[in-house]
């Protein structure tokens, strides 16, 4: 069943239930009102008979307006005129009324095929009077009312179904537009399409959210294509150089010993650079994908381990640390990679014998070097993928290290900034959300 038909069916069902309940309420309200009128007339007749002690009165026939009456004794006997052929059934409760053990009550019964309303009331000691009025007129009115209410209900349901179909048709126009847009995206496999939101209602907000999703998907695809293009460009040069050196190495017997050693040394460096580049590309391809196994991390200890490793890579540079205990949450391997990239960048730009100052305070990690610093023109692009300043193009690297730092930090809800340090050099600040932490006492 289509959504439109379900909507129409739901509307028709709701109207059916409402009309049915209303009809039932009206029917029983009218029935109660009619019976109240009959009961009032019977009560007045019974009160009249009580007033004359029931000794001398003329019994009207069963269908008369005043009501047919008979007297019931406490032992269940019936007193009536000898020329009356109709005897009303005397239930046990009528004998109790005659005996003074029960009060006046109303009941329905059938007498000689006629539906009647009966009032049983005490008359004198040991006697009770039963007064009857037929309900033919009441039953006829209720029958006609039932037919009328059924007709109204049927017309109401039919009208509700027709109006429901019209309303559904109008209400589903935005849904059809959204469906067509989604089908167009699925058919063309292009997230560049957009859908007209057409309002601020629920469908409009859904269309806006769908457009936001398409925009994010479009940006992701463009970023992916750009990454593939940049990666192809960056890999072409080292692979070409590596292939050339391998071809030369194939004629190693023709080369002097010194040239063979230099060639092998170049190959090792190129393979190492290629390995780093491939690792950087893998990290970038992961983007903001969360890593399983996030945990609470002592940021100061993570930075301390990274500094110890980086000292072996840049032995000519002195790394000084000032680390205060701090606790953050994240993926240890990715945060370690981000911190190591910052330290490696500082070591690369530091002059021989230079100093790199590393500090941890709260959730901030600052790395300050005393190199040439960052040119103002390069500063806005320092964290872009594959971006390399003019001075860096002659140095080893792919221009991905700082881009990875930004991706990792933003995936952990933090920020990273770069600026020209006072007195020369550059200053990088990595900020992460910090967790409440009470460091253990010294010596524990």
245-292 pLDDT per residue, tens: 777 777 767 777 777 777 777 777 777 767 766 766 666 666 555 555
CATH 1.10.287 fits 202-284, yes or no: yes
pLDDT tens for each residue of 402-430: 888 888 898 889 999 999 988 888 999 99
Q: pLDDT value at position 256?
A: 79
CA separation for the pair 246, 248 (Å, rounded)? 5
> Would you say residue 94 has pLDDT above 60?
yes
In this structure, what token pair is assigned to residue 423? 């007195």
Q: pLDDT value at position 54?
A: 45
Mean pLDDT over each residue of the chain, to the nearest integer: 80
The arithmetic mean of pLDDT across residues 334-343, rounded, is: 89
Quote the pTM value.
0.48
- Sheet holding 415-420: strands in order across? 318-323, 355-361, 364-368, 426-431, 415-420
Q: pLDDT value at position 227?
A: 65
Q: pLDDT value at position 58?
A: 43
Q: pLDDT value at position 91?
A: 83
CATH class for the domain made up of 3-157: alpha beta
CA separation for the pair 349, 396 (Å, rounded)? 11
> Would you say residue 115 has pLDDT above 60?
yes
Dihedral sign for Cα 141, 143, 144, 146, please.
positive
- Sheet holding 327-330: strands in order across? 295-298, 327-330, 434-435
The domains of the chain are located at 3-157, 202-284, 289-435
Q: pLDDT value at position 339?
A: 92
Phi-psi map region of 68: left, alpha, beta (phi>0 left; psi -120 to 50 alpha): beta
Q: Which residue would you say has higher pLDDT here, 440 or 336? A: 336
CA separation for the pair 376, 58 (Å, rounded)? 123
Gyration radius from the chain CA atoms: 49
Q: pLDDT value at position 63?
A: 44
Q: pLDDT value at position 62?
A: 45
> Would you say residue 61 has pLDDT above 50?
no
pLDDT above 70 as % of the chain:
82
Q: pLDDT value at position 414?
A: 92
Q: 416: which strand partners?
A: 430
The arithmetic mean of pLDDT across residues 147-175, rounded, is: 80
Which range (52-56, 73-77, 104-108) has the least confidence? 52-56
CA separation for the pair 298, 439 (Å, rounded)? 10
CATH code that applies to domain 289-435: 3.30.565.10
Helices (H) and strands (E) in the chain, counts: 9, 13
CA separation for the pair 90, 85 (Å, rounded)? 15
**Binning pLDDT at 50, 70 and 90, where does residue 386 land?**
low
Q: pLDDT value at position 155?
A: 86
């Amino acid at each position: 069943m289509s959504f439109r038909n379900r909507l129409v069916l739901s509307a028709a069902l709701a109207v059916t239930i409402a009309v049915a309940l209303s009809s039932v309420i009206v029917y029983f309200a009218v029935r109660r009102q009619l019976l109240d009128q009959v009961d009032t007339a019977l009560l007045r007749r019974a009160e009249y008979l009580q007033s004359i002690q029931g000794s001398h009165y003329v019994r009207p026939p069963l269908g008369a307006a005043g009501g047919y009456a008979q007297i019931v004794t406490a032992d269940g006997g019936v007193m009536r005129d000898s020329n009356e052929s109709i005897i009303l059934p005397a239930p046990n409760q009528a004998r109790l009324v005659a005996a003074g053990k029960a009060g006046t009550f109303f009941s329905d019964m059938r007498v000689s095929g006629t539906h009647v309303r009966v009032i049983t009331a005490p008359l004198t000691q040991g006697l009770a009077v039963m007064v009857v009025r037929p309900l033919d007129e009441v039953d006829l009115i209720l029958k006609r009312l039932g037919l009328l209410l059924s007709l109204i209900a049927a017309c109401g349901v039919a009208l509700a179904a027709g109006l429901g179909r019209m309303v559904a048709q109008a209400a589903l126009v935005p849904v059809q537009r959204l469906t067509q847009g989604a089908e167009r995206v699925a058919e063309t496999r292009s997230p560049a399409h957009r859908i007209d939101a057409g309002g601020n209602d629920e469908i409009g907000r859904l269309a806006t959210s769908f457009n936001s999703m398409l925009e994010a998907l479009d940006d992701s695809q463009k970023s992916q294509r750009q990454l593939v293009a940049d990666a192809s460009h960056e890999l072409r040069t080292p692979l070409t150089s590596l292939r050339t050196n391998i071809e030369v190495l194939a004629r190693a017997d023709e080369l002097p010993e010194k040239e063979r050693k230099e060639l092998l040394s170049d190959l090792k460096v190129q393979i190492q650079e290629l390995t780093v580049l491939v690792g950087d590309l893998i990290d970038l391809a992961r983007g903001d994908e969360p890593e399983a196994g996030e945990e609470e991390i002592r940021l100061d200890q993570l930075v301390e381990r990274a500094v110890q490793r980086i000292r072996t890579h840049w032995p000519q540079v002195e790394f000084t640390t000032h680390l205060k205990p701090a606790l953050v949450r994240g993926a240890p391997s990715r945060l370690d990679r981000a911190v190591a990239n910052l330290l490696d960048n500082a070591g690369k730009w530091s002059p021989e014998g230079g100093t790199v100052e590393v500090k941890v305070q709260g959730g901030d990690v600052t790395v300050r070097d005393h190199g040439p610093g960052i040119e103002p023109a390069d500063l806005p692009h320092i964290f872009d993928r594959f971006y390399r300043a003019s001075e860096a193009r002659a140095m080893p690297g792919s221009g991905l290290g700082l881009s990875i730092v930004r991706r990792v930090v933003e995936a952990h809800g933090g920020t990273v900034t770069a600026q020209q340090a006072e007195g020369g050099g550059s200053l990088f600040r990595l900020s992460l959300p910090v967790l409440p932490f009470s460091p253990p006492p010294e010596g524990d």
